[in-house]
Amino acid sequence: MDELAARGKDLLKAGLSGALSTHSAEKPGYPFASLALYALDGAGRPLFLLSGLAVHARNLAADPRASLMVAEGDAQASARVTVVGKAARLSGAEAESGRAAYLARHPAAKAWASFGDFSLWRLEPEDSYVVAGFGSAGWTGGR
């Protein structure tokens, strides 16, 4: 695995939240970015616990293409990764194991995780763009 891909995975593992960008269902043609807590599943894919009332959840239901940008410290001066892919709502055993991973990372979410309008979503990465420092940036080719 090349250095950029490894750095991107490390950034995702260290982060707790990022900018989740979706395609706006209410304002077609425009991106919609929101702050979202995330955790990683066993394969390193981002998981989100989203309310059906949230704009980003409604956007994902209409168009699953999304990206998650995670930055280390000051985003302008530090390393960052943007993961692009398609999100899917999980069900059954996948949802239960994902929920356990999410709650282990965000224990405070136990207060609302059982509310009926919350679902677990997973971003299936297709590629990522990593900025590891000055002059060190690029697409990882899905690694």
Q: What is the DSSP string of 2-66?
A: -HHHHHHHHHHHH-SEEEEEEE-SSSTT-EEEEEEE-EE-TTS-EEEEEETTSHHHHHHHH--EE
Number of domains in the chain: 1
What is the tens place of the pLDDT at every residue in 27-69? 999 999 999 999 999 999 999 999 999 999 999 999 999 999 9
We report the CATH number of the domain holding residue 95 as 2.30.110.10
pLDDT more than 90, % of the chain = 83
Domain span including residue 120? 3-139
pLDDT value at position 136? 86
Which residue type, as a one-letter code, is found at position 73? G
Please state, in angstroms and rounded to a whole number, the distance separating the CA atoms of residues 56 and 43.
Answer: 23
Query: pTM of the prediction?
Result: 0.92
